[in-house]
Structure 1
């Protein structure tokens, strides 16, 4: 199946030539202004289908509050603020995203979740959060983000750096399917097109391998089948303790 898969992936890649040219000319930045509108609508649908999984995952957040303090959460790639409703009341939230055009939707989500304290919104990539101090947060949240960062290893190093000792990275990510399946085949075939419409998203990443090698002291990771379209049905969920 490998040669067959490579052939069809090459065909799709060739059909994406106009998109490659648009990207090379720097015109793809226009799409970044439109993408928040699209993601806002998708996030509403995703939250409905993944509500129970998110609720289960974030139920453990409060366990990482320092004695006598308030839980401080930093969310990498916060997007439209789709996770805010699952955070425990009273916690402080630092929002980061490389796309400043999300701010409009962030403000809307903040208004709908005023049980939280929003410390600041930092325009920064996951790979470079230098404005956030070392060991300054209790929890880092990363959902549907590691699929689109340029450097997964560097993003995880940054998460590890800003977490206090005993803090945790919470994650929920779609990942590559089992290589023996047709889903894996179609993930690779459509990847060239998926990359552009997903704002850099790679549906073929084996993200769990990066988490296993990230140097956390404890990793709680499960593979699940999400109630979503086949291409993004394979997910990993869990948290990693510094």
Structure 2
């Protein structure tokens, strides 16, 4: 299987050569204009398939509203605003994305989701959101983004910085499959194409580095029970080291059982 995986990976690297040449000669900007359009078209179909999961994930966002003011959400890598329909009415939304061409499609999405208060669009990567003040948002949302950033620890540190004490990070990720599965095979074979599509580095991971001082409250995902037990123990050890309540540890592969949690945080990591 390893031979086949390497063989087909090589083939797909050859297939992506034209896109890589576009980047070398400075024409990749054309693709960066096309990519937001493609994502805008795909997002509606994706939301239909993930509707129940996203509703569950974002069901308690309102509980993080501080005082009498509106809930303030910052979304990292917002894309075309695929999560807007799941946000509570009246909340303020700050959107960040390194691709400025997404803003046009965000505006289109906002006409449909007029229950939101759009605050600003910040052209920035997850690793460098310097335009956003410290402790300034109630919730950070990050869906299908950690797999496409160049520096996961730095991105999580930035999320930690901009979240107010007691705020929460909500995320949903696809991570590496079991090495014996065909899903794992195709994840690695298609890696060259994925890299070109998102114009960023990508590595499928079972877990993100324990580096940012964010504490896990409740994580779920589709994992073998043995892995769940191992990672649940890892989470318990993390809690002993970090004592700042109300934060969410972003260890994407960690999983506990699905019994209801007393914590208002309900993130979910997802293996496709």
The answer to whether TM tops 0.5 is yes
Residue 95 of structure 1 corresponds to which residue in structure 2?
95
In 2, Cα distance between equivalents of 1:216 and 1:37: 34
CA contact (8 A) 1:168 1:239 kept: no
Task: Give the TM-score of the pair, scaled to structure 1.
Answer: 0.86
CA distance in 2, matches of 1:66, 1:197: 38
CA positional deviation for 1:78: 1.0
Partner of 2:90, secondary structure, is coil
After TM superposition, give the deviation of residue 181 of structure 1 in Å.
0.5
RMSD of the alignment, in Å?
2.2
In structure 2, the CA distance between the partners of 1:107 and 1:210, relative to structure 1 (3 Å rule), is: same
- Taking structure 2 as the reference length, what is the TM-score of the superposition? 0.77
**Residue in structure 2 matched with residue 209 of structure 1 by the alignment:** 207
Q: CA deviation at 1:18?
A: 2.9
**Structure 1 residues 43 and 219, CA, compared in 2 at 3 Å: closer, same or farther?**
same
* Contact 1:79 1:97 survives alignment (8 Å): yes
Which residues of 2 match residues 178-217 of structure 1 at below 5 A? 178-200=178-200, 202=202, 204-206=203-205, 208-210=206-208, 213-217=211-215
Q: Secondary structure, in 3 states, of the residue corresponding to 1:46?
A: helix
Retained in 1: the 8 A contact 2:93–2:118?
yes
Structure 1 SS opposite 2:219: strand
Structure 2 residue aligned with 1:143: 143
What's the CA shift for 1:220?
A: 2.3
Superposition pairs of residues 214-229 of structure 1, within 5 angstroms: 214-224=212-222
Q: Count residues in correspondence.
A: 229
Is 2:134 the partner of 1:134?
A: yes
Residue range with higher mean Cα deviation, 154-163 or 22-31: 22-31
Q: Which residue of 2 aligns with 1:9?
A: 9
The answer to whether the Cα contact below 8 Å between 1:33 and 1:101 also exists between their aligned partners in 2 is: yes
Match of 1:71 in 2: 71
CA distance in 2, matches of 1:20, 1:14: 10
- Match in the other structure for 2:267: 239
Query: Partners in 2 of 1:43 and 1:217 — Cα distance?
Result: 30
Structure 1 unmatched runs, 5+ = 226-234
- Partners of 1:212 and 1:219 within 8 A in 2: no
Residue-by-residue CA offset, 1:146-185 (whole Å, 9 max, x unaligned): 1221211111111111001111010112222111101101
Find the counterpart in structure 1 of residue 165 from structure 2.
165
Q: Indicate the structure with greater strand content.
A: 1
Distance 1:200 1:42, change over 3 A: farther
CA distance in 2, matches of 1:12, 1:2: 15
Rounded Cα–Cα distance in structure 1 between residues aligned with 2:144 and 2:72: 20
1:42 aligns with 2:42: yes
* Cα distance between partner residues in 1 of 2:30 and 2:217: 39
